[in-house]
Amino acid sequence: MDLHTITYEAGDRVARITLNRPERGNGIVPRMPVEIAACVERANLDPGVHVIALAGAGTGFCGGYDLVASAEGDMGDLGEGFEAPPGSPLDPAVIAANHAPESNWDPVTDFQFMWRNVRGFMSLFHSEKPVVCKVHGYCVAGGTDMALCSDLLVIGADAKIGYPPARVWGSPTTALWAARLGPMRAKRLLLTGDSLSGEQAAEWGLATEAAPPEQLDERFEALLERVARLPVNQLVMMKMLVNQSLYSQGLQQTQLLGTFFDGVARHTAEGHEFVRRAAAGGFKQAVEERDRPFGDFGREAG
């Protein structure tokens, strides 16, 4: 498929998927999870690929959903040749009308929109071949869906990872925080909206390892090379074996709830007020006002 939001290349047993919207912080638009899923399938069907590498171009991995695109009403743009049918949950007019504070909100339409993104992100988790993710700079909000759907995570020690929309206007749709951290530490983050530094993420077990910024690429490539030594059949079986434990814990049911909650969070009184503040002063200003009572805008969890 013609890629608009990511790049794909394969060689030396590694398929590389790179988020490629650096001018917008690799912000998520609906076409991105569609393209990710297509490239994951391409890698799985390539007998020369043993492992998938996921990374982001620019100054950070991913800053979450492209809220500028959302404000401008173009979140339904799936790219040339892949437009959403009129009246569908991905139709920009339907999205704009359903998300407006004064709308007669349809939670199922909201769910249909977000559930497609969840399926795209979860293609990384369901991938037969392992996915190793590199996080540099920042990985927040919706960006954590992709990072946590990966199998192994190598992060810069100075990076920032977390889900600040837990404070207002969001719920993690892939709902993997408890699976990755356990309930107590997941609550520590989601009941505060705090973020972790890369070093803390490794200490907490969220990341496989944290590396100094100047060593991040080298450590990432070393892990990729080590994983790629295994035969594909062994990699597929080992990943499948571990994933069964999460399937048996009801992961899909938790994700259904998280995705519905995400829509609810955008249509609470606080969620509507957040949208009004964003419309008046911009999303960055609205986020700063949201985080000001916590005194940690741009800081990590303690």
Distance CA 148, CA 151 (A): 7
In terms of Cα–Cα distance, which of 38, 34, 70, 64 is closest to 52?
Answer: 38
Where residue 289 falls (left for φ over 0; alpha for ψ -120 to 50; beta otherwise) is alpha
Place of tokens 């007019």: 93
CATH 3.40.50.1970 fits 6-294, yes or no: no
Over the stretch 46-105, which tens digit does the pLDDT of each residue have? 999 999 999 999 999 999 999 766 654 555 555 545 577 888 887 878 887 887 777 789
Strands 209-211 and 195-197 turn out to be unpaired
Over the stretch 101-126, which tens digit does the pLDDT of each residue have? 777 899 999 999 999 999 999 999 99
In terms of Cα–Cα distance, which of 92, 137, 143 is closest to 113?
Answer: 92
How many Å from the N-terminal Cα to the C-terminal Cα in the chain?
A: 44
Distance CA 168, CA 170 (A): 6
Distance CA 290, CA 117 (A): 25
Over the stretch 239-294, which tens digit does the pLDDT of each residue have? 999 999 999 999 999 999 999 999 999 999 999 999 889 889 988 899 999 999 99
268: tokens are 């609470």
**CB neighbour list of residue 245: distance below 8 Å, 6 or more residues apart:** none
Q: Where are the domains of the chain?
A: 6-294
85: amino acid identity, one letter: P
pTM reported for the whole predicted model = 0.94
